[in-house]
Amino acid sequence: MSIRRFTIAERPANEAGRQAALDAYGVAAAAHPELDDIVAEAAAAFDVPTALVSLIDRDRQWFPARVGLEAAETPRSISFCSHAIHQDGPFVVPDATADPRFAGNPLVVGEANIRFYAGAPLVTPEGYRIGTLCIIGTSARKPLDVIEQQRLTAFAREVMDVLEQRRKR
C-alpha cells in the first residue's frame, strides 16, 4: 500500500499583519445573509455543489457562509484556501487527485471527495489576503478560463464589500 501525501501551505511572510487584519473584521459565527446569497449565486454560476467564504484563521479555516457543506470549519493544515491566499488571483486545481500537493489530502481521499477547487483571495484594502471565496466540485473539470476567473474574483470582491461595510459600522 502506498502512502498518499499532501503539502501543507506555508504561512505567508506577513502572517501577523494578515491575522490582525482578519481579526479587525470581527466576523462572528452568526448568520450572514448577504454572504449566504453570494455563495449561493457563485455555486449556481459555476454549476458546482459547494461554494464557501473561507476565512484563514490561526489554526483553522472557517466558513461564515457556505452552501453544499455541513462543516463549519476544517483544520488550516488541510485547507486548499491556505494555498490560495498566496496568490494574487484565482488559485485553481482542476483535478486534486492528479495534483501532488493535494492527492493525499483528507479532503480529497475522504468523505468530502474534493476533485475540483477554485478560490479567489479575499483581499483587504491594505492588501492582506484573509481568505477566499471558493467553489468546489466532486469531479475534475477544465481550468477556469479568463472570463470565469474574472467572475470568481468579482464574487470575492462582493464578499469584501460586505465585510468592509460591516467593519465600518
Rounded to whole angstroms, what are the CA distances from 109 to 6, 103, 106, 134?
A: 11, 7, 5, 19
pLDDT of residue 100: 93
Residue 8 lies in a domain: no
pLDDT band (50, 70, 90) for residue 4: low
Residue 160 lies in a domain: yes
Residue 131 lies in a domain: yes
Is the C-alpha dihedral spanning 28, 33, 37, 43 positive or negative?
positive
Residue 31 lies in a domain: yes
pLDDT of residue 62: 93
Nearest by Cα to 144 from 87, 92, 96: 92
Domain total of the chain: 1
pLDDT greater than 90 at residue 26: no
Residue 52 lies in a domain: yes
pLDDT greater than 60 at residue 3: no
Tens digits of residue pLDDT in 29-66: 566 899 999 999 999 999 999 999 999 999 999 999 99
Residue 89 lies in a domain: yes
Nearest by Cα to 124 from 163, 154, 66, 93: 163
Print the domain residue range for 32: 15-168
pLDDT of residue 30: 60
Residue 7 lies in a domain: no
pLDDT of residue 8: 85
Residue 61 lies in a domain: yes
Tens digits of residue pLDDT in 111-166: 889 999 999 999 999 999 999 999 999 999 999 999 999 999 999 999 999 999 88
pLDDT of residue 86: 95
Kindly report the CATH number assigned to the domain that includes residue 27. 3.30.450.40
